[in-house]
Amino acid sequence: MAELPIPDLPPARCSGRFTISTLLGTEEAGRGPYTPTEGSSCDSAQPTQLSSSTLCSRTFGYNTVDVVPAYEHYANSKGVGDPRKGRPSLADLHSILKPDPGRLCTPVPELQQSNGLPEAGLEAGLEEAEGEPGRDSVPEPVRFGWVKGVMIRCMLNIWGVILYLRLPWITAQAGIALTWVIILMSVTVTTITGLSISAISTNGKVKSGGTYFLISRSLGPELGGSIGLIFAFANAVAVAMHTVGFAETVRDLLQEHNSLIVDPTNDIRIIGVITVTVLLGISLAGMEWEAKAQILFFLVILVSFINYLVGTVIPATAEKQAKGFFSYRADIFAQNFVPNWRGPEGSFFGLFSIFFPSATGILAGANISGDLKDPAVAIPKGTLMAIFWTTVSYLVLSATIGACVVRDASGSLNDSVAVGSPGCEGLACSLGWNFTACTQQRSCRYGLSNYYQSMSMVSGFGPLITAGIFGATLSSALACLVSAPKVFQCLCKDQLYPLIGFFGKGYGRNSEPIRGYMLTYVIAVGFILIAELNAIAPIISNFFLCSYALINFSCFHASITNSPGWRPSFRYYSKWAALFGAAVSVVIMFLLTWWAALIAFGIVIFLLGYVLYKKPDVNWGSSMQASSYNMALNYSVGLSEVDEHIKNYRPQCLVLTGPPNFRPALVDFVGTFTKNLSLMLCGNVLIGPRKQKMPESRLMADGHTKWLTKRKIKAFYTDVVAEDLRSGVQMLIQAAGLGKMRPNILVLGYKRDWRTASPQSLEDYVGILHDAFDFKYGVCLMRMKEGLNVSRVLQAHVNPTFEAAEHPKNGTGSKAAPGTVDPTALASEQQASTIFQGQQGKKTIDIYWLFDDGGLTLLIPYLLGRKKRWGKCKIRVFVGGQINRMDEERKAIVSLLSKFRLGFHEVHILPDINQKPRPEHIKRFDELIAPFRLNDGFKDEATVNEMRQGCPWKISDEEVDKNRAKSLRQVRLNEILLDYSRDAALIAITPPIGRKGRCPSSLYMAWLETLSQDLRPPIILTRGNQENVLTFYCQ
């Protein structure tokens, strides 16, 4: 720990518990945040100042800047800059502290305990400090536990009309044994999904948003956003579906008593609209009232269950016996134990598709995650308990009713016969009833196979079963009416889709989505008015199954990525079971309704594509990010194990851009031929003291990366801090890259001001080229007539163009910038346009392959020509030759190029390279090097070295004479370039190489200057490392 320096101050005393409250403080009204208050003093050593604030802490026995672990250091409940919840930065612990005797400390609120953790039940207090003067107390929002908030809610949503009206019929068709198989298969899927929900919901703090929140924070906004939107819509339509189920039951009761309001269809609409309006009123009254209504429905359903079970043990009356009920009998159980398929739906999967929707509804508790006291405890416990008890109820119901009621009964009291009467067939004969006639004619109105109201008939008091049906439908409708706005509100706040933010506003202490409730109400009423939901119901089931599949896949994907952030406190899950659950959910989607499954997938894919296209600026630490890292790491390691081959050579470029936005043309040029092909790394050398430049490096890196992303350049950005440009570039050359993903080409801009720049910068620039060759790099120099550096234009806040004069001070180092661009403004600044961003038309790309460098001079223009913007350009290749062998040499080059399969067919032989240039051009070259000559008069080497002491860039007379032919060749080549390529779109030429230690830097720069001067097109001086980058072999 870093101990505080102790100034000479009188000791102070205080009582109470203290810790570091902040690292930063501000003066306010002449009084700092740590000015002493009444009754506050310090029983530890004297205070010190840290970043303009006096800190006083007691950790565990001595004074230190370090703090003990505390909850608030990890909770992001407050905004950035909260003055009471910070740990010291590394700089605060590592740098020298200056004591400030003028300030004392104040104690931290009692909320922080000695171990740094909040007391139980005080987590909400961490959001706002308690007991601060002048602050109004905010009413506590309503929060529910696992029973009231999750278990009861899920059980009510799982139970539905299928339990009352279809389960007895399914038991008659499939038999008790296969009915149990159907139930257990359905429950297996929901249980696996429940385990996945439990794992995801216990891997960090869960906020409001339910299913959407869980999926989006796990798999990312793309899948989360699409499933969130359709899940909210499905819940809204499910409100209408459950309400219509209730309305149909009421309509049937009215029909029985001949009391229809208008007609059967309009009665459903009238009753449905009134019902959903009442449910909306309950929801708008607040979550407390909604929870009370759910408990009421729960009690009604429990009473109806008890009523049914009591009815099964009451001795059957003659009327009930005529309808097939004989109380518990082993022979009835045995007969109903095996299947008896009937009708078009009489198949195992047909019945499975009918029953499965009754097992869904397990997300009702998770959907109100924002209203739970502790979602990490409530969601797993409540969901799994709801699945368990509803499963028990389904199994008990199918077994009991299968042991009490025969499959066929006439309902007529006249069908009673003596036991053993002749001509009587079936099990009922042994019970004194003859149902043979209706059984053979398939005209029986009662019995498990024919009468949907068998539960009501068996029960002790029939109307209670009807009340149970009411409770099941209304509770499910109410749960969906609450779920849809809660999920939609979270989706609106994330702003993944346009035009929906209006519905995200919350009201009241629970942040109730009133606007979302009204939207859900409008959707529900719209579908209620249709009054026929048979077409939309299968799509809703498939939307819910989509959610199940993605929840299971989220759990599997988060587990398989091995991310250190995946640490669910709920351990009873399996990643392979989750994958199985996801696959089975998709299979069930197609088993239920294949066309609805296709529609659901189509909608998900459309919404997924929209979010992928928009690329929302969110970062939730999803498992997709972890998976991307895993894949990149595995492929990078795997790539290192593979030997390199010429066929797989890729130009991987280290581009000395400085700040990338200062040299956009250089970035665009390299980005054009490396995009989706190879590595591009933008390097920046920050020149200056490390202590001064390191904060700038950290500050700017993210801004430069965002600038590259906005420009759609697929590249990395890296910077180093160095004392000078050359040493910084040496660091980049040696350290850049990872494994086989390392640069092999150094790309930099041409130094236009080499004649006026400091001699040392000239030496550094040419030395960088020598360093690149020493490290086996290829070199690519880019020169444009307008220049590359637009930093002056950027600093002047003008639209960046290339009209401004160059103003580099040190090559590509960031010292070239007149100032520093704000990193937050980098990504939002107006992008400079360059010629590499536009269509090139039917121009030419001229390649002057003068020396065999391994083929790099050919490869880069070839890659450029494959891009759409350069696709119409004709590529011409120029090579040197002798005038008396032009045809033979041309055929040889054409043959070589055809073997390379580059598609270059226009080849020109230059026989006049070694002709003497025009005298005025020779004179211009001599004037160019004149300021850099020693004028030593051909003295001996020792004398020359002594004269050149301290100025190694000077050119001796002997060096001028020895390199005369090479110098004249550059002058002649410039004349050829002006003759042949004045109107080209791009010129690529092999530059000369200056021998290290024998060619002064000024002479080499004079060669490059002479070679590339007066040319309008961009010129690329490319030199490979003399190793092959092209091959015509297939192995």
Cα atoms in the 13 Å half-sphere on the side-chain side of 813: 23
How far is the C-alpha of 330 from the C-alpha of 410, rounded, in Å? 22
Q: How many helices (H) and strands (E) does the chain have?
A: 34, 12
Determine the residue type at 656.
Answer: L
Look at residue 101 in the predicted model and tell me its pLDDT: 46
User: Which parts of 666-805 are beta strand (E)?
Assistant: 680-687, 716-722, 745-749, 778-783
DSSP symbols for 426-458: SGGGGGTB--HHHHHHT---BSTTT-TTHHHHH
CB 1022 within 8 A of CB 850: no
How far is the C-alpha of 365 from the C-alpha of 386, rounded, in Å? 10
Alpha-carbon distance values, 391 to 394, 397, 626, 924 (Å): 5, 10, 37, 96
How far is the C-alpha of 933 from the C-alpha of 640, rounded, in Å? 49
How far is the C-alpha of 561 from the C-alpha of 581, rounded, in Å? 18
C-alpha R_g of the chain: 41
DSSP character at residue 64: B
Q: Tokens for 277, please give them.
A: 């309006």
Torsion of CA 78, 79, 83, 86, to 10 degrees: 80
Phi, psi dihedrals of residue 208, rounded to the nearest 5°: -70, 155
CB 1021 within 8 A of CB 989: yes
Q: How many CB atoms lie within 10 A of CB 577?
A: 17
- Strands 53-55, 48-50: pairing is antiparallel
Look at residue 241 in the predicted model and tell me its pLDDT: 83
How far is the C-alpha of 360 from the C-alpha of 186, rounded, in Å? 9
How close are the terminal C-alpha atoms of the chain, in Å?
61
pTM: 0.70
- Strands 986-989, 653-656: pairing is unpaired
Element (H, E) at 622: none
Look at residue 274 in the predicted model and tell me its pLDDT: 93
DSSP character at residue 562: T
Torsion of CA 847, 853, 859, 864, to 10 degrees: -50
Question: Rounded to the nearest 5 degrees, what angle is found at the Cα of 796, between the Cα atoms of 791 and 799?
Answer: 80
- Tell me the sheet residues that pair with 1022: 780
3-state SS, residue 78: coil
- Tell me the sheet residues that pair with 875: 845
DSSP character at residue 150: I
Mean pLDDT by 10 residues, the chain (1035 residues): 43 38 36 38 39 44 68 56 58 62 41 39 38 49 82 87 83 92 92 90 80 80 81 86 84 81 84 92 82 88 92 87 87 89 82 82 82 85 93 93 88 76 76 81 84 85 88 87 86 83 80 88 88 68 85 88 83 92 91 86 87 78 78 86 84 92 92 91 89 76 87 91 92 91 93 90 92 93 87 52 35 45 61 84 90 90 89 90 84 88 87 87 92 77 72 84 90 92 92 87 93 92 90 74
Cβ contacts of 763 within 8 Å, gap of 6 or more: 952, 953, 1001
- CA 265 from chain center: how many Å? 47
Of 268, 33, 342, 295, nearest to 149 (Cα)?
295
Query: For 564-602, what is the HEC assignment?
Result: CCCCCCCCCCCHHHHHHHHHHHHHHHHHHCHHHHHHHHH
Look at residue 986 in the predicted model and tell me its pLDDT: 93
User: Which parts of 774-891 are beta strand (E)?
Assistant: 778-783, 844-848, 874-880
3-state SS, residue 756: coil
Cβ contacts of 296 within 8 Å, gap of 6 or more: 471
DSSP character at residue 184: H
- Only one residue has tokens 């009690």, namely 299
- Tell me the sheet residues that pair with 779: 746, 1023
Q: How many CB atoms lie within 10 A of CB 224?
A: 30
